[in-house]
Amino acid sequence: MPPPLPPRPQSLMPSYIDVLPSINSLQGLTPPPLPERIYDFESTYLKPNPLKANVNVVLVNLDKLVDITNEKLTPEGVENVFCGKCLAAMSSFSHDVETTESTVWTCEFCGCSNTLHYQCNVSGIGNDSTFLQASAPDPSETPDDSLVIFCVDISGSMCVTPQVGTAEQAEGSYTTRLQAVEEAVMMSLHYLNKISPTKRVALITFNDQVTLYGDGLSTPQTLQGFELVDKDYLEAQGKQQPIPRCIADSIAALERQLYSLKESGATALGPAALVSVAMATQKPGSKVIICTDGKANTDLGNLEDIKENELYESSKNFYSQIADYAVQHGVIVSVLTIEGTDCRLPELGQMADRTGGKVNRVNPGALYGEFQSILEDDVIATNVKARFIVHTDLVFKYEGDPDHQVLRHVGNVTKDTSITLEFQCKDNMSQSLIQRRALPFQVQVSFTLPNGRHGHRILTQERPITSNSLLVEKNINVNVLQIHCTQLSARLAMEGRVEEARQEAFAQIELIRQVIHQTEDTEQEAIYDDWVNSMSVYGELYDPNQHYTWTFGCANTSWCLSTEALSDDMANVIYRLKNAKNWTESKKKTPEHWQ
């Protein structure tokens, strides 16, 4: 039998029960330090860095707002009620309080108390209200008989024979500029006769005189000499021109007149543009298509010598006044110039830019395609005005004096016409806004339909707000930011505010690059690369050798670039960017009314 094991030392005895020290005995003890954090979770994930650019942007698709074909009209008897202070309209988001004496609505935009009339019917007001003029003509009795006026340059330089198409094409690809224009106009006449035989077409030409052929069925009228310097006379002559007969009746006569044209003389573009627009005002929704290959060089609207400042400013204002005149009467002006020529597009382009028309420099062989694109872009509404209202703690940027509402005189609206607006918090107001979950936004649009009926539409929405930039990044609509940045930068550049245009463009480019990089969407990256390439124009604009002036009219008294320094190529790019509509073919991200 083995000897017994020696007794186990007390230190090796298992402890099944440990008696915890009393609370009092722990009070004097200092707890051990916490282990050092490898990373700061809160600062890394809960306190994101500020965004590189302002993303408080709204895009309004005006073509959808004024197209009421399938919209339900607000019931008769329901009234618009507007705030007496900020002009916001009541909506389904509004709250009114009834008292024994009256009903009071406290405006959700500015906080003003508005007493409602006891007979006021607001029970049917929603967040999307459309009101139309009571009486309307029968659409079957009002076919589209708007005018299309081709205003064609036949000056001496139109006899130049550029190559049409590519060098690899067959012999006979050389033709004069005028012949290329004649062929494109003739093809357009046949196109209109096929798809819209009731359309009324007129022809006006200009060299050192202006000739009004109308529909080609009557004797042409020629304006020359002192007649070409009298603006009132030119306007009157245009307005009293007989309404052309429909293209189905006049196409043969127009073809004869078109192919009888000969190149010679100077370029009375200014008088011809005014007469053409004046004639088009007889039918709202009409179009004027100006095609030229050189600078206007007669007295009215002369752009030949822009170094004489007084003459230049007078001519620039002349084309601006034509644009205003066209907008007031619902006329769309498009300006096409021949590739490789200098026509002072920065000034001429105003007429197209302000009226909803197209601006482009075109190879003579591509003229018909441009004409067709213009003819297909029908007017949806004219005399369009859009008022946008946000909460009084917010203000709009780049819209003149900082305010929480802005009124845009849009004029003509065609397919895909949109506007963008950028807003931000008032100084020292961000903390009060953070306490709110959502803010109201409202757009009020007034318009005139092609049948002459006047309409008014009010759309109100509430949108959630946040100060969390990570959450914002995940929900950014890149397409909206691209459109806004493109339009805004181009607008600032055309106003001469080059430095601001560059800053806005590059800040948004960097932000969108960061957002797209996180999504790893190859299709979106390709669209982004194309967009960035188009925006590179703002890097080219800032040239230390260019003619810059110190202008206090510019925001932040920044360095400004005079439009005199813009070339036709540069102006063409900027005008097209200014009217950018969509940078992606994906319809799932296209906002229905606004974003």
Quick: pLDDT tens for 56-92.
Answer: 999 999 999 998 887 778 777 667 889 999 999 999 8
| 287 and 368 part of one domain | yes
Lowest mean pLDDT: which of 9-13, 94-98, 125-129, 196-200?
Answer: 9-13
| 487 and 446 part of one domain | no
2 located within any domain: no
| 459 and 392 part of one domain | yes
Which of 328, 314, 472, 461 is CA-nearest to residue 388?
Answer: 461
For residue 553, pLDDT beyond 60:
no
Question: Average model confidence (pLDDT) for the chain?
Answer: 83
Contact yes or no for 355/323 (Cβ under 8 A): yes
Average pLDDT over residues 323-343: 95
| 428 and 572 part of one domain | no
| 400 and 533 part of one domain | no
38 located within any domain: no
The pLDDT, as a whole number, for residue 19 is 39
Taking the whole predicted model, whether its pTM rises above 0.85 is answered as no
Neighbours of 316 (CB within 10 A): 20
For residue 22, pLDDT beyond 50:
no
346 located within any domain: yes
- CA distances, 234 to each of 299, 350, 363, 593 (Å): 14, 20, 31, 41
The pLDDT, as a whole number, for residue 327 is 95
Q: Cα-Cα-Cα-Cα dihedral of 328, 314, 347, 332, to 10°?
A: 20
Domain count, the chain: 3
| 394 and 373 part of one domain | no
17 located within any domain: no
| 526 and 408 part of one domain | no
The pLDDT, as a whole number, for residue 527 is 83
| 174 and 250 part of one domain | yes
Q: Which of 316, 349, 377 is the last residue of a domain?
A: 377
Please name every residue paired with 337 in a beta bridge, in sequence order, or none if there are none: 292, 361
Average pLDDT over residues 460-489: 89
Q: What CATH number does the domain containing 457 carry?
A: 2.60.40
Q: Which two tokens mark 418?
A: 């949109």
Quick: pLDDT tens for 41-51.
Answer: 334 444 456 77
Rounded to 5°, the CA angle 367-373-377 comes to 145
| 524 and 559 part of one domain | yes
| 178 and 316 part of one domain | yes
Quick: pLDDT tens for 554-581.
Answer: 444 344 556 677 889 988 989 988 888 7
Q: Which of 466, 492, 523 is the last residue of a domain?
A: 466
27 located within any domain: no
Please name every residue paired with 221 in a beta bridge, in sequence order, or none if there are none: 212
The pLDDT, as a whole number, for residue 174 is 79
**Main-chain dihedrals φ then ψ at residue 54, nearest 5 degrees:** -75, 125
- CA 331 to chain centroid, in Å, comes to 18
The pLDDT, as a whole number, for residue 315 is 94
For residue 323, pLDDT beyond 50:
yes
What's the full length of the chain, in residues? 595
* 358, burial (CB in 10 Å: exposed 0-12, middle 13-18, buried 19+): buried
For residue 550, pLDDT beyond 80:
no
What SS3 string covers 454-483?
EEEEEEEEEEECCCCHHHHHHCCCHHHHHH
| 251 and 348 part of one domain | yes
348 located within any domain: yes
The pLDDT, as a whole number, for residue 595 is 53
Q: Which of 443, 466, 489 is the last residue of a domain?
A: 466
Q: What CATH number does the domain containing 187 carry?
A: 3.40.50.410
Quick: pLDDT tens for 395-435.
Answer: 999 998 889 999 999 999 998 899 999 999 887 666 677 77
108 located within any domain: yes
d(CA 144, CA 347): 31
β-strands 147-153, 287-292 pairing: parallel
Lowest mean pLDDT: which of 30-44, 311-325, 386-400, 486-500?
Answer: 30-44
Quick: pLDDT tens for 89-102.
Answer: 999 888 877 766 77
| 290 and 404 part of one domain | no
The pLDDT, as a whole number, for residue 47 is 46
Task: Give residue 335's domain range.
Answer: 145-377
4 located within any domain: no
Which of 407, 414, 357, 350 is CA-nearest to residue 382?
Answer: 414
